[in-house]
Amino acid sequence: MTERMIPAGDAQVCAEAFGSPDHPAILLIGGAAASMDYWEGEFCARLADAGRFVIRYDFRDTGRSTAYPAGAPGYTGDDLVSDALAVLDGYGVASAHLYAISMGAGIAQQIAVDHPGRVLSLTLQSTSPTGPGGPGRDDLPPMSPQLAAMFASEEPGPDWSDRGASIEALLEGLRLFDGDLPPDLAGERDVATRMYDRTTDVAASQTNHWILEGGGLERHQLADITAPTLVLHGTADPLLPFPHGEALAREIPGARLVPLTGMGHQYPPRAVWDTVIAEVVAHTNRG
């Protein structure tokens, strides 16, 4: 496939498509601090082979998209919403199915509420109606103690200019988000390596999404989503435990929940590809 740069406001967003543009489009929207490489090429190709036009893209500060100084992102969460629409415009897609993970699922939900005509359906994975449980959110369980400690830690990260150390740090970070499925160590190393080698400023990619302002829905706005919605959630998610997925499916009208046994807070591991692809293809048969 051929990458292309798409203008998005004052930025350039790198995107790549699989399959025929004559087929229904699926826009893949990833999680924080992750380039489009985490949507593995083989996974995208299998969706395309099922008769879908599959588009993945790099958020700002990831991959080959515009990068900003680490700690000083020159954009907001609302700009990430606009970027997703700019990618669709760049491919001449008026409306698409959105398949989104974690932070990306928040972006997809906002698009579904603010721009319903652009959305044929939603597939929301590894996300929540409110975010990690805790003070003020005690109706849903909190993240694991290990993740809480990681997010609270003030220890400096690696020297992101050191390729070897950085790739090891990326892989070590992934382990904290794993569920009960055996990790695909070789595959994860390949993805992390490609992400590192494609990203303009890895320090910015691992910093800026966590400090963005703006964007996001109020929880009550989930009731305004009219797009047919599929919720995919790992039963062993350590960041947003399974009750978050159950709550999301309850609060979006007509949403259907599919548990992914043993999966953590992660892009679909190969062990669940058959299930996920079958569910997404069936869900996107409409429109």
138: Cβ contacts below 8 Å, ≥ 6 apart: none
Per the residue annotation, which of 82, 237, 244, 283 is the catalytic one?
237
Per the residue annotation, which of 97, 233, 265, 283 is the catalytic one?
265
Contact 263, 272 (CB under 8 A): yes
* 265 labelled catalytic: yes
Nearest CA among 143, 136, 205, 214 for reference residue 177: 143
Q: In angstroms, rounded to a whole number, what is the distance separating the alpha carbons of residues 97 and 123?
A: 8
Half-sphere exposure of 44 (CA within 13 A, CB side): 24
User: How far lies 92's CA from each of 23, 104, 153, in Å?
Assistant: 12, 21, 44
User: How far lies 91's CA from each of 4, 63, 118, in Å?
Assistant: 10, 19, 13
Nearest CA among 97, 121, 87 for reference residue 15: 87
Q: In angstroms, rounded to a whole number, what is the distance separating the alpha carbons of residues 219 and 128?
A: 10
Where are the extended beta strands (E) located within the chain? 3-8, 11-18, 25-29, 53-57, 96-101, 119-125, 229-234, 256-260
Per the residue annotation, which of 65, 82, 102, 166 is the catalytic one?
102
Instruction: Tokens 């047919």: give the residue.
Output: 228
Judged by phi (left if over 0) then psi (alpha if -120 to 50, else beta), residue 49 lies in: alpha
Just list the catalytic residues: 102, 237, 265
